[in-house]
Structure 1
Amino acid sequence: MAGAGIAGLTLALALAKFGAQIVVLERNSAISEYGAGLQISPNARHALNHLGLDQTIADCSFEPSGIDVYPDARQSPLLTLELGAAVRQRYGAPYVVMHRADLVETLYKTCRRFANIDIVFDAQHWEANSEGPALSINVQAAAQRRQGWAFALIGADGVHSHTRNNLLAGPPARYTGRTAWRALVPIAALQSHLAIDRTSMLLGPDFHLIAYPLHQRGQFNLALFINAPEPQTRSTPTPSLGRNTSQNPRLAAVMAAVADQWGAWPLYTVDTQKWFEGPIGLIGDAAHAMEPFQAQGAAMAIEDAAVLAPLLISQPDAATAFAQYQNARQPRVRQVMRTSHANGQIFHMHWPWTIGRDMAMKAQGPTGHFRRLDWLYGHKVAQSGQNM
């Protein structure tokens, strides 16, 4: 396994529960996760619960009661989309928010309890050579070189995947024309402007802002998405919203609270039909990095792991397992990618198109999003690798 992020650690844990021997290769010297907030929808939570993580995630996450939608500088929400108890009742699992690092740490600590999971840090370079079903892997980790044979190599190494680009000759990631600016600020700094029991979504021309409380950390997670022709870098000090800030007191309060503490994260996507070749395959962002406008990137990686693990265990060779996994996952993932892209277009609309958008959102009511997304949130991955 290449990559000790959400995709790699979830798959390692799922495989370990079947008794497989797993080696996870991680480029960094320790577990690290750049970023801030993460949304875990019911479809992902069901898969994590199957791994025995329900209570651990509950202890380090927060369940918002709804989403307040503020289009175009409105001072009161256009509507509040229900979450909380309504989600639990409809889908049998909660919709929660948490810090991304807390999920990675939870997965890592759980993996450490399994003697059949070996995590190799400082794995700066690896090569794989396959002859039929046989796969030899050479790893340069710190000052040591390791060599061995494996049933499969799974690239869970992210959007700029070495496995995809170099071992499978796949396409590079494509910049979307948008950059995410992320920050964490104390709840006290914004509690008079944003609800502390709900998610807030501010919509404007060419941008939108998502904010939700991480009560375990005493912070608001903020994610500001802006159209940007060229990728912004983490060294860029602050995002610019021009007149949008001065005309929107709530947005102005957020910008003032963060000041120059934003971190820029250019958004890239991956579009490839080829998720495997022989005993080498891809999961998560390495296979299908998507725009984050349905908050399903991590969820799709978690579902990938839940589908792929039992197939790798039950099939006679890795190529057969990967073929079945690809056939099972690609249609759903592509539907999520299309939904995410459409959301980005809708969120960033200009007047007068926003008039129709806002009327449609108001007309759907506080639970209309459930009917639209039942196919997504109501999805469960069975332990057999098939859909329930």
Structure 2
Amino acid sequence: MTQPHIDLLIAGGGIGGLATALAVARTGRRVHLVERAEAFGEIGAGLQIGPNATRALDELGLLDGVLDTAVKPRRGIIFDAVTGEKLTTLDFGEKFLERYGHPYIVTHRRDLLDVLLKACQEEENITLSNGRELVAVQEDDDKVTVEFKDGDVWTCDLIIGADGLKSKVRTLIDETQPVFHGHVAFRGTVPTEQVADFISSEDVALWIGPGLHLMQYPVRGGTLYNQVAVIESPRYAAGRSDWGTSEELHEVFAQTCGPVRRSVDMIEAERGTPVSDREPSDTWSSKRAVLIGDAAHAMLQYLGQGACQALEDALSLAGHLDQAEEDLPLTAIKGYEQDRIERASRCQRVARPWGALWHTRDETTLALRNRYFKQRADDDYTELDWLYSPSINATPNAEGKKYETGQLHHV
């Protein structure tokens, strides 16, 4: 059994963990990141990255690399999934870029992870370890002790929990559990030519209907089309055990129009993935542990902000650690929380009713929703300003570079 001591340990090698490792290492700190899987990888396929997150990637010097394989869609379109009617459009063109300073892009999760991983591998202050499954964590006044599945025990001065929805590090802070709402996601990609005759390869398409939605967009430079079909499982609501199956997916989508049914037929997943979130928290830290990403603020996918908020976390935490006068001060962690908790909690809270609006079964709400969507202009961005506008406060690192802290304009 080994028991090395690590100054700063990051648990979790997903997008948030790697981004945090990179941002912190560039402030001059040594970082050791552990990942439970034998190789770095991301569950899922497509990823929407709003301008708040492309801004963060630009701050990390990674945006150009991400853009090599990403797609800049010309617009987002919302359709009624039952009737096929176009409800509204969001223009991602020049006005959008002028307003927010950075583009909205869509990419494959693996492509983004590869860019982050390569940058971390090239950073001399980062050590990466795979096959390290964290099974226990304990904190005392002067250290955190972590135990791995293989029996190894390490200690560290500070642990950053980037270990996702069911975070082991989070048990140092509270014992709350994720909340499952009965939403199940079915994901897959298809070659773009298979959908080119009825779907635009330049757009993000969202089809919304009673208890369901389908999100579609191009990835891998436009060669693949990503699809995510989500249902509010009637079988789960009825207490049945056979929920979240491909059979149930097709039962729920049977009410939709032809293009939607045809698209869903191309999703080969036999079972869907349960989609959970967490209640907003007042704190994400203890004396020697701090959380980022889903470990801190897991949210439903309806704002497309899960990975985006993790990228904001990375820059904020790195900026505050860089400004710290002591090696690992509690004040830096609390400064990070002050920057980030209100904003990320708002994303958590807004995502739930936004999803409920997409999925409404109430005829009055549906009629009002559709009427509102049809009346808005394609370049009306006012409801996005709180999410996408450039930061009004940034924390400089030792070299004077500005790290975004996530305090964006609110309407």
TM-score by length of 1: 0.91
1:147 maps to 2:132: no
Superposition RMSD in Å? 2.3
SS at match of 1:277: coil
Contact 1:121 / 1:141 at 8 angstroms: preserved in 2? no
Task: Provide structure 1 residue ranges, at least 5 long, that are not aligned to the other structure.
Answer: none
Q: Name the residue aligned to 2:185.
A: 180
Q: Name the residue aligned to 1:84.
A: 93
Deviations 1:70-91 (A, max 9, x none): 1143345223221133321211
Contact 2:162 / 2:292 at 8 angstroms: preserved in 1? yes
The 10-residue stretch of structure 1 (22-31 or 245-254) with the greater mean CA deviation from structure 2: 245-254
Contact 2:23 / 2:315 at 8 angstroms: preserved in 1? yes
User: CA 1:198–1:263 in 2, change beyond 3 Å: closer, same or farther?
Assistant: farther
Query: How far apart are the structure 2 equivalents of 1:89 and 1:274?
Result: 35
After TM superposition, where is structure 1 displaced by more than 6 Å over at least 4 residues in a row?
A: 231-235
> Which residue, 369, 372, 379 being the options, matches 1:357?
369
Equivalent AA in structure 2 for residue 336 of structure 1:
C
Give the drift of 1:121: 1.0
User: CA 1:170–1:379 in 2, change beyond 3 Å: closer, same or farther?
Assistant: farther
Q: Name the residue aligned to 2:26.
A: 17
1:305 maps to 2:335: no
1:267 maps to 2:275: yes
Give the drift of 1:234: 11
Equivalent AA in structure 2 for residue 124 of structure 1:
E
Alignment of 1:57-136 (within 5 A): 57-125=66-134, 127-132=136-141, 134-136=142-144
Give the drift of 1:129: 4.3
Give the drift of 1:147: 2.9
Deviations 1:129-167 (A, max 9, x none): 4443x224344375x7253442x1010000011111x33
> Which residue, 184, 193, 213 being the options, matches 2:198?
193
Equivalent AA in structure 2 for residue 365 of structure 1:
A
Q: How many residues align?
A: 382
User: CA 1:141–1:79 in 2, change beyond 3 Å: closer, same or farther?
Assistant: same
SS at match of 2:112: helix
Contact 1:9 / 1:107 at 8 angstroms: preserved in 2? yes
Equivalent AA in structure 1 for residue 101 of structure 2:
G
The 10-residue stretch of structure 1 (74-83 or 318-327) with the greater mean CA deviation from structure 2: 74-83
Alignment of 1:334-353 (within 5 A): 334-350=345-361, 351-353=363-365
Give the drift of 1:216: 2.7
Q: Name the residue aligned to 2:383.
A: 372
1:38 maps to 2:47: yes
SS at match of 1:293: helix
Give the drift of 1:337: 1.5
Equivalent AA in structure 2 for residue 172 of structure 1:
Q
User: CA 1:55–1:238 in 2, change beyond 3 Å: closer, same or farther?
Assistant: farther
SS at match of 2:254: helix
Deviations 1:50-69 (A, max 9, x none): 11102101102001111121
TM-score by length of 2: 0.87
> Which residue, 172, 181, 203 being the options, matches 2:208?
203
Contact 1:126 / 1:137 at 8 angstroms: preserved in 2? no
Query: How far apart are the structure 2 equivalents of 1:287 and 1:242?
Result: 35
Give the drift of 1:217: 6.3
Task: Provide structure 2 residue ranges, at least 5 long, that are not aligned to the other structure.
Answer: 1-9, 397-402
Query: How far apart are the structure 2 equivalents of 1:177 and 1:21?
Result: 42
Contact 1:186 / 1:219 at 8 angstroms: preserved in 2? yes
Query: How far apart are the structure 1 equivalents of 2:242 and 2:65?
Result: 34
Contact 1:190 / 1:253 at 8 angstroms: preserved in 2? no
Query: How far apart are the structure 2 equivalents of 1:199 and 1:66?
Result: 6
- Aligned-residue sequence identity (percent) comes to 29
Equivalent AA in structure 2 for residue 319 of structure 1:
L
Query: How far apart are the structure 2 equivalents of 1:245 and 1:149?
Result: 53
Q: Name the residue aligned to 2:290.
A: 281
Give the drift of 1:41: 0.5
The 10-residue stretch of structure 1 (340-349 or 64-73) with the greater mean CA deviation from structure 2: 64-73
Query: How far apart are the structure 1 equivalents of 2:163 and 2:98?
Result: 36
Give the drift of 1:43: 0.6
User: CA 1:126–1:117 in 2, change beyond 3 Å: closer, same or farther?
Assistant: farther
Deviations 1:205-261 (A, max 9, x none): 111111011143621111111112639999834443537435511112112333x33
Contact 1:37 / 1:99 at 8 angstroms: preserved in 2? yes
